[in-house]
Chains A and B, each alone.
Chain A
Amino acid sequence: DGGITQSPKYLFRKEGQNVTLSCEQNLNHDAMYWYRQDPGQGLRLIYYSQIVNDFQKGDIAEGYSVSREKKESFPLTVTSAQKNPTAFYLCASNQIRVNTEAFFGQGTRLTVV
């Protein structure tokens, strides 16, 4: 599975609730990313992190938060401030310093009910 795992695969959330998506990698990659993908659309960058305890906003960070307390883990919280959270969320990692391929998790499909 490329050494990067997302959980859960499917997630249902009630409006007004925060929810956290998990992403773990055992590839020793420094960089980790969160993307949002809507039906028929491309990959939109939410947040990324190059190093532990540091992360940067991507193109659509509003309504989301992340943490990077460990190199292996980069959880994404979808807050109640995100107006349209229903989407497919992909986590990825790579080694930017040496330009290696990015590995993706299997994705989490979040549905607001």
Chain B
Amino acid sequence: GENVEQHPSTLSVQEGDSAVIKCTYSDSASNYFPWYKQELGKRPQLIIDIRSNVGEKKDQRIAVTLNKTAKHFSLHITETQPEDSAVYFCAATRQGAQKLVFGQGTRLTINP
């Protein structure tokens, strides 16, 4: 089955700098890669996703890149702000898969 590895587990950046979180997956058939943000005490919520037919997707300050050959995808947050502080989860799955597989999570802290 699918296995997703996420790095780093914790990340601290200065406000205004960029943050990058990376995930690798094992199943070459996976074709859907969402990213979730979980603020303290709240539920995870989707912030961006990418499908395997594109290599990059951007939404304002966040972007996701996908390298199918290397089987890894990354979340990029530019011009970080204090409200970006949260735990971020990546996930991978494919059509017909039994379940959505999550990475271990990255705790991002934005320092003022």
**Residues of A in contact with B, size category:** 20 to 34
| Contact of A102 with B34 at beta-carbon distance under 8 Å, contacts A96-B93, A96-B98 already known | yes
Give the tally of cross-chain contacts (CB within 8 A). 59
The answer on a CB contact under 8 Å between A101 and B95 is no
The answer on a CB contact under 8 Å between A90 and B43 is yes
Stretch at the interface among B16-24, B61-69, B77-85, B100-108: B100-108
Query: 10 shortest A-B CB distances, which residue pairs?
Result: A99-B32, A104-B43, A42-B105, A42-B104, A101-B46, A43-B102, A48-B99, A104-B44, A106-B43, A99-B95
Chain A residues proximal to chain B, CB less than 8 Å: 2, 31, 33, 40-43, 45, 48, 50, 56, 58, 90, 92, 94, 96-99, 101-102, 104-107
The answer on a CB contact under 8 Å between B103 and A48 is no
The answer on a CB contact under 8 Å between B100 and A94 is yes
A selection of 26 A-B contacts at a CB cut-off of 8 Å is A2-B45, A42-B105, A43-B89, A48-B98, A50-B98, A56-B98, A94-B100, A96-B95, A96-B96, A96-B99, A97-B95, A97-B96, A98-B95, A99-B31, A99-B32, A99-B94, A99-B95, A101-B34, A101-B46, A102-B36, A102-B91, A102-B100, A104-B43, A104-B45, A106-B42, A107-B43
Of chain A, the residue at the smallest CB distance from B102 is A43
| Contact of A42 with B89 at beta-carbon distance under 8 Å, contacts A101-B49, A105-B43, A107-B43 already known | yes
The count of residues in chain B whose C-beta lies closer than 8 Å to any C-beta of chain A is 26
Distance A42 CA – B7 CA, assembled complex (angstroms): 12
Distance A101 CA – B111 CA, assembled complex (angstroms): 30
Which residues of the other chain, B, contact A92 by a CB distance below 8 angstroms? 100
